[in-house]
Amino acid sequence: MAFLLRGAHVVDPQLGCDQVLDVLVDGKSIAAVGEGLQAPEGAEVIEAAGKYLVPGLVDMHVHFRDPGFEYKETIYTGARAATKGGFSDVATMPNTSPVTDTGTGIRYQIDRARHANLVYVHPIGALTKGEKGEELAEIGDMLVEGACAFSDDGHGVQSAGMMRTCMAYVSQFGRAVLAHCEVESLTNHGVVNEGRASTRLGMFGWPALGEELEIQRDIDLARLTGCELHVCHISTARGLELVRAAKAEGLPVTCEVTPHHLFLTEENITESYNTNLKMNPPLRTAADAAALREGVCDGSIDCVVTDHAPHAAHEKECEFEIASFGTVGLECSLPLMLNNLVRKGHMSWQALVEVMAVNPRRVLHLEPVRVEAGSAANLTLIDPERQVKVTPDFIESKSKNCAFLGMTLTGCATDVFVEGKHTLVDGEVAW
Ligand SMILES: NC(=O)N[C@@H](CC(=O)O)C(=O)O
Ligand SMILES: [Zn+2]
Ligand SMILES: [Zn+2]
């Protein structure tokens, strides 16, 4: 099938491209990019005037819960949520049941994703067996089966010695370790940020130091082992400073931030007790969020990820202390970035494409995608004016635990192409 996307504003920082162009997709790849392209016989013409066309968006941190917790999400329902949000690729964390710590587990996810046929699913393998932090997982076996990176997300690797072994081993394969930084002896029963929120609510605090201490440790281990370190869901101003310093030193360190840590704070919880605002790491202070917004706009933060963490209604409709940690995020990540940063002029389109498409592929060592002839036709078409209302119906995920429910946001993806397949068609998931 061929498609001519006519008159879209193409943004691709890899090519220095920022102009209105026509793009012809033929089969699995881009056949031509230029002005005044003619639609070949039988090609579908998609009028894209006023819209932006960018390399397919990548969310490199999602939880699809398959296998083991299919009542929260499956690879199919997760893939639908990703498509709705404008993504062509996602990377799935290994805290499934069983934990994805073998080649077979990696293969299972890739097979299920192929069956769903909507997004590329790049499984992340566990660093340690069962994510227990005790024994190295079958890293080589997982890599052969298609794992893109390694992480014990959901937990910090508590032992510095174990983390050193993990990083030394993974570095031999030239892949990144994605670190969920949490010193459990400091965070213990913490459910909200330690400080004003924990004091006012009378709940156990999860201190910023619980995250920052382990970020510093892992940066030091990156220096020792030479392993690429990617810091997951960074949530504090000081954590970001540590990453900035590591980068300035020339260490192979990158980091990511979630929309909820950019646009929500602990104050939102003190007003609402909304369990959809309970997540790991917790929402921090307004000053932290402001520092993170600055970091994502100036390029110090490499990637925006959702940490899409679906949980069933009964796991959230309960007391704050016992509710599960996490929020779904795939459907509203791009709308939040557009509404809150790009439309207000705080972030350029080029920078948006860097953090949502270019850099995640680089961190995960995926094939780059460029809006040029010969590249794979993995593309996202964005309408900066279309409004979305974040309702349970808008959320394709099997779980509706979204921290942003009730908001109306301007700007969203209307169409997605994955290897030339039209997976999101005018805002609706194709199958
Ligand atoms: N972020 C969360 O609050 N929860 C994640 C785990 C994680 O990302 O650490 C989950 O798997 O539910
Ligand atoms: Zn995590
Ligand atoms: Zn996570």
CA 152 to centroid of ligand 2, rounded, Å: 8
Question: Out of 22, 302, 307, 415, which one is annotated catalytic?
Answer: 307
* Residue 204 Cβ contacting ligand 1 at under 6 Å: no
Q: For ligand 1, what atom is nearest to the CA of residue 180?
A: 9
ipTM at complex level: 0.98
> Residue range 328-335: average pLDDT?
98
Q: Alpha-carbon distance 23 to 15, whole Å?
A: 15
Read off the DSSP letter of residue 340.
I
Ligand 1 binding pocket mutation candidate from 307, 315, 328 (most atoms within 8 A of CB): 307
161 class by beta-carbon count within 10 Å (0-12 exposed, 13-18 middle, 19+ buried): exposed
**Ligand 1 pocket: which of 60, 124, 325 to mutate (most atoms <8 Å of CB)?**
325
Per-residue pLDDT averaged across 297-309, rounded?
98
- Four-point Cα dihedral 73, 75, 77, 83, nearest 10: 130
**Mean pLDDT of all residues in 148-157:** 98
Ligand that lies nearest to the alpha carbon of residue 230, given by its number in the listed order = 2
101: DSSP letter: -
Q: Among 278, 235, 239, which residue's Cα sits nearest to residue 403?
A: 278
- Give the number of the atom of ligand 1 that is nearest the alpha carbon of residue 233: 8
pLDDT value, residue 105:
98
Would you say the CB of residue 310 lies under 6 angstroms from ligand 1?
A: no
Residues with CB under 5 A from ligand 2 (ion): 153, 180
Binding-site positions? 61, 63-65, 95, 153, 180, 233, 280, 307, 311, 325-326
The atom of ligand 1 lying closest to the CA of 280 is 3
User: From ligand 1's centre to the CA of 324, what distance in Å?
Assistant: 9
Q: Where is the binding site for substrate, in residues?
A: 63-65, 95, 280, 311, 325-326
- What is the set of domains in the chain, with CATH numbers? 2-53+373-386+408-429 (2.30.40.10), 55-363 (3.20.20.140)
Q: First vs last Cα of the chain: how many Å apart?
A: 17
What the block records as the tokens of 189 is 């029963």
The confidence band for 272, taking pLDDT boundaries of 50, 70 and 90, is confident
Q: Answer whether residue 271 shows pLDDT above 80.
A: no
Contact 42, 85 (CB under 8 A): no
Q: pLDDT tens, 115-150? A: 999 999 999 999 999 999 999 999 999 999 999 999
What is the arithmetic mean of pLDDT over 96-123?
A: 98
Average pLDDT over all residues of the chain? 98
Annotation says 307 is catalytic: yes
Say if CB 210 and CB 183 are below 8 A apart.
Answer: yes
Share of the chain above pLDDT 90, in %: 99
Ligand nearest to the CA of 279: 1
Summarize the confidence of residues 5-28 as an average pLDDT: 98
Give the single-character DSSP code of 276: G
**282 alpha carbon to ligand 1 midpoint, in Å?**
10
Placement of tokens 């639908």 in the chain: 80
- What's the alpha-carbon Rg for the chain, to the nearest Å? 21
For position 393, what pLDDT does the model report?
Answer: 97
Q: Which atom of ligand 1 is found nearest the CA of 324?
A: 12
Whether residue 325 is predicted with pLDDT greater than 80 in this model: the reply is: yes
Using a 6 Å cutoff on CB, does residue 254 contact ligand 1?
no
DSSP 139-161: HHHHHHHT---EE-TTS----HH
Q: How far is the CA of 18 from the centre of ligand 2 (A)?
A: 35
Amino acid 158: pLDDT: 98
Q: Are 195 and 205 in contact (CB under 8 A)?
A: yes
| Known binding positions for Zn(2+) | 61, 63, 153, 180, 233, 307
CA distance 333 to 295: 17
CA 423 to chain centre: 19
Per residue in 351-360, pLDDT tens? 999 999 999 9
How close is the Cα of 10 to the center of ligand 3, in Å?
A: 31
Write down the pLDDT at residue 270. 82
- Residue-wise pLDDT for 200-237, tens only, equals 999 999 999 999 999 999 999 999 999 999 999 999 99
- For the Cβ of 102 lying below 6 angstroms from any atom of ligand 1, the answer is no
Which of 60, 62, 96, 153 should be mutated for ligand 1, with most atoms under 8 A from CB? Answer: 153
17-26 and 29-34 beta bridge pairing: antiparallel
Instruction: Report d(CA 113, CA 343) in Å as an integer.
Output: 34
- Amino acid 1: pLDDT: 85
